[in-house]
Amino acid sequence: MQTWRIQVMAELAITFLGTGTSQGVPFVACDCPVCRSDDPRDKRLRSSILVEAEDVTILVDTTPDLRTQALRQNLRRLDAVIFTHSHTDHVAGFDDLRRFCELADRPMPVYASPHTMADLRRAFYYAFDGQHAYRNYVRPEPHEVTAPFRLGSVEIIPAEVPHGKMLVYGYIFARHGRKLAAYFSDCHHVPPDVIAQILGIPVLIIDALRHEPHPSHLSLQEALDVAAAASAQRAYLTHIGHDLGHEETGKLLPPHIRLAHDGLRLEI
Amino acid sequence: MQTWRIQVMAELAITFLGTGTSQGVPFVACDCPVCRSDDPRDKRLRSSILVEAEDVTILVDTTPDLRTQALRQNLRRLDAVIFTHSHTDHVAGFDDLRRFCELADRPMPVYASPHTMADLRRAFYYAFDGQHAYRNYVRPEPHEVTAPFRLGSVEIIPAEVPHGKMLVYGYIFARHGRKLAAYFSDCHHVPPDVIAQILGIPVLIIDALRHEPHPSHLSLQEALDVAAAASAQRAYLTHIGHDLGHEETGKLLPPHIRLAHDGLRLEI
């Protein structure tokens, strides 16, 4: 008897390299129940995702934990890096891109808003000044992002969202004209024009810092409200502080909304 | 029968928070024997030490691994941070000082050469500009180092050593007028006037990147030569790359010279 199998290839895979707030979880020297939890899903490195299609591997943000994250995922290739914004928890691992430059023996395409790129150039001036273009040094190939762009078969649509006093980028990922996922790691609000761009999105990944409101981040309830307003088919919460334990917070959520955790891989 | 015990309190304790080169060990995506070693002493975060006397706890450098290092050591207090130089592997964790500012509810005294301080001010401008002095933000209290200074009972003597095209600081730690330890994490040479300052030092901690010479770092043999020239009573090698496996390299060393490893604590 022959077994028929329909193999459905994922259009896009997203792996959470980190799901923590700027201090990660546990916080240093914190004895709260979440920081002392034995649940590995309560161990959160700084927020970052890896986006993979069959032809391209894209890193979003270079956290201070990048080396640890790359080792944990056995990451061996990066085709490009895109940045949401220049806060330290999203850029401090920039120098660790050197290894990927060395492995591929080429500069690393780096995509960021003009403001974020200017911050990267200031903080990591030695990488951009062209005077240290050694094989095993970080060699960025800068691309300023002001409009949608493509990396291989993946279309990447930047969307500005407010994060404290700044505007930062969220990104919408599409393939073959179909929006598949949106990533808004740091925002305290998602404006109606951005909601309109992600209506019915299969996967929304959204900032949910804690229960209490915060001037720069969405609270859990606010994140749920964004997911509802966008009619997201599924939503994953990220950039999570130590107020939200994985297990008990999960019980508060509807089935199509989950807390992300480090190492979680979504296939879309 | 009465047992007499003479309790000798350590004058100074030094804990290695990291002993690795700028990429740490293992390197990302490296299959060499040291990078694939199961020996925990071959797992090296970026180089940093903690210096403790009974009245003061001092961190030397803020590596990108600082949060991980602080959690691993259950570090709950830092009285000051001193910097050797501003290369990314020694400063990228600067923002993680925020937690120690929050815990102590005060700015963090930060000591560095004028050049290093200028680099810190550029890379972490938001910490120095006085506009983000929130309780849980990093709040440095900058001190430019051009001469010996004291932190509590510990005297700290900077000594310039060449590191590639730069001059960086090594530090000599003394108490009660007695030099106890010297830390030279990054140098390709130790000049005679610095050797003269550390003659007979109880503990020398010295850069030993690999077997082959390197334009910015000491090789293993060069490090041994420095230890001999300084008549160091004991020497510990640090800033170690993936060429030097802990076990097999240890067999090449005289008994008073050891490879350091992450977590090693010396009492002097």
Sheet holding A234-238, edge to edge: A149-151, A154-163, A166-175, A178-184, A203-207, A234-238, A257-259
Quick: pLDDT tens for B125-174.
Answer: 999 998 877 778 999 999 999 999 999 999 999 999 999 999 999 999 99
Residues forming a β-bridge with B46: B20
Residue A122 to residue B123, Cβ atoms within 8 A: yes
**What are A172-199's pLDDT values in tens digits?**
999 999 999 999 999 999 999 999 999 9
Mean residue pLDDT across chain A: 95
| Minimal C-alpha gap between B148 and chain A (Å) | 29
- Phi then psi for B169, rounded to 5 degrees? -95, 130
How far is A205 from B62, CA to CA, in rounded Å? Answer: 31
Q: Supply the CATH classification number for the domain B13-267.
A: 3.60.15.10
Residue-range domain boundaries for chain A: 13-267
Q: Which of A29, A93, A125 sits opposite B99 (nearest CB)?
A: A29
Over residues A60-96, the pLDDT tens digits come to 999 999 999 999 999 999 999 999 999 999 999 999 9
Q: Shortest Cα distance from B67 to chain A (angstroms)?
A: 7
Residue A38 has pLDDT above 50, yes or no: yes
pLDDT of residue A132: 74
The pair of structure tokens assigned to B49 is 């030490």
B-chain residues near A23 (CB < 8 A): 67, 96, 98-99
The pLDDT of residue B131 is 82
Residue of A nearest to B64 (CA): A64
According to the model, what pLDDT value does residue A135 have?
Answer: 79
pLDDT per residue over A7-17, tens digit each? 556 999 999 99
Cα separation, B258 vs B54, whole angstroms: 26
Chain A residues within an 8 Å CB radius of B24: 67
**Cβ distance of B93 and A64 shorter than 8 Å:** yes
Higher-scoring residue by pLDDT: A258, A129:
A258
- What is the DSSP secondary-structure string of A214-233? -SSS-BHHHHHHHHHHTT-S
- Interface residues of A toward B, Cβ cutoff 8 Å, are 22-24, 26-29, 64-68, 70-71, 74-76, 88-89, 92-96, 98-100, 103, 122-125
How many CB atoms sit inside 10 A of residue B135's CB? 10
Tens of pLDDT, residues A88-103: 999 999 999 999 999 9
Output the pLDDT for position A1. 46
- The predicted structure's pLDDT at residue B1: 46
Residue of B nearest to A21 (CA): B96
Degrees, nearest 5: CA angle B40-B42-B45: 95
Q: What per-residue confidence (pLDDT) applies to B136?
A: 83
Task: Tell which residue, A226, A222, A232, has the closest CA to residue A255.
Answer: A232
Which residues in B have their CB inside 8 Å of a CB on A? 22-24, 26-29, 64-68, 70-71, 74-76, 88-89, 92-96, 98-100, 103, 122-125
A-chain CB neighbours of B22 within 8 Å are: 95
Lowest-confidence segment of B130-144, B176-190, B202-216 by average pLDDT: B130-144
* A225: CB partners within 8 A, 6+ apart: none
Does position A264 have pLDDT exceeding 70, yes or no? yes
Q: B88 pLDDT exceeds 70?
A: yes
The predicted-structure confidence for B220-264, as pLDDT tens digits, reads as follows: 999 999 999 999 999 999 999 999 999 999 999 999 999 999 999
When the pLDDT of each residue in chain B is averaged and rounded to a whole number, the result is 95
Mark yes or no for CB contact B28/A75 under 8 Å: yes
* Cβ-based contacts under 8 A for chains A and B: 85
Chain B residues in contact with A122 by the CB 8 A cut-off are 122-123, 125
Per the CB < 8 Å rule, is A67 touching B24? yes
Task: Answer whether residue B92 shows pLDDT above 90.
Answer: yes
The closest CB to that of B103, out of A22, A29, A89, belongs to A29
pLDDT at B226: 98
